[in-house]
Amino acid sequence: MARDVIDEQVISSRDELVSWFEAGNKPNGPFRIGTEHEKIPFYRIDDRPVPYGGRRDCPTCGIAALLESLRLAQGWEPIEDEGALIGLFDPHGGGAISLEPGGQFELSGAPFDTAHETAAELDAHFAALAPAAESCGIGFLDLGMSPLWTRAETPVMPKQRYQIMARYMPKVGSLGLDMMFRTSTVQTNIDFASEADMVAKLRLGLSLQPLITALFANSPFTDGKPNGLLSMRSQIWTDTDAARTGMMPFAFQPGMGFEAYVDYALDVPLYFVKRGDVYHDVAGASFRDLLAGKLAALPGERATISDWANHLSTIFPEVRLKRYIEMRGADVGPKSHIVALSAFCAGLFYDAQASEAAWDLVKSWSDEDRRVLRESVPRQGLAAKAAGLSLLDLARKVLPLVRAGLDRRARLDAKGHSEAIYLTPLEEIAASGETLAGRRLALYHRDAAAGGWGGDIKRAFVDCVY
Model pLDDT for residues 320-364, shown as the tens digit of each residue: 999 999 999 999 999 999 999 999 999 999 999 999 999 999 999
Q: What angle do CA 74, 91, 33 make, to 5 degrees?
A: 95
Distance between CA atoms of residues 259 and 324, nearest Å: 15
Question: What 3-state DSSP class applies to 294?
Answer: coil
Mean pLDDT of 29-42: 98
Distance (Å, whole) CA 438 – CA 440: 5
pLDDT at 250 over 80: yes
Contact 347, 49 (CB under 8 A): no
Residue 107, pLDDT above cutoff 60? yes
Average pLDDT over residues 25-35: 97
Q: What is the pLDDT of residue 75?
A: 93
pLDDT number for residue 156: 98
Mean pLDDT for 111-131 is 97
Percentage of the residues of the chain whose pLDDT score is greater than 70:
99
pTM of the model as a whole? 0.97
Query: Above 60 in pLDDT, residue 1?
Result: no
Q: Which pLDDT belongs to residue 396?
A: 98
CB 460 within 8 A of CB 147: yes
Closest CA to 205 of 194, 190, 184, 215: 190
pLDDT at 312 over 80: yes
Q: Is the pLDDT of residue 3 over 90?
A: no
Reported as type and span, the H/E element at residue 80 is strand 77-81
CA distances from 414 to 117, 239, 359, 417 (A): 12, 46, 33, 7
pLDDT score for 58:
86
Question: Judging by DSSP bridges, how do beta strands 385-386 and 389-390 pair with one another?
Answer: antiparallel
The pLDDT score that the predictor gives to residue 59 is: 85
Mean pLDDT of 76-95: 95
Mean pLDDT of 435-447: 98
Beta bridge partners of residue 35, listed in sequence order: 188
pLDDT number for residue 454: 98
Over the chain, what is the mean pLDDT? Answer: 97
Element (H, E) at 458: none
Query: What pLDDT score was predicted for residue 2?
Result: 53
Cis peptide before 30 (omega within 30 of 0): yes
Instruction: Taking residues 391-395, report their average pLDDT.
Output: 98
Does 6 have pLDDT greater than 80?
no
- Rounded to an integer, the average pLDDT of 124-149 is 97
Angle (CA) 385 391 392, round 5° = 125
pLDDT tier at 5, thresholds 50, 70, 90: low
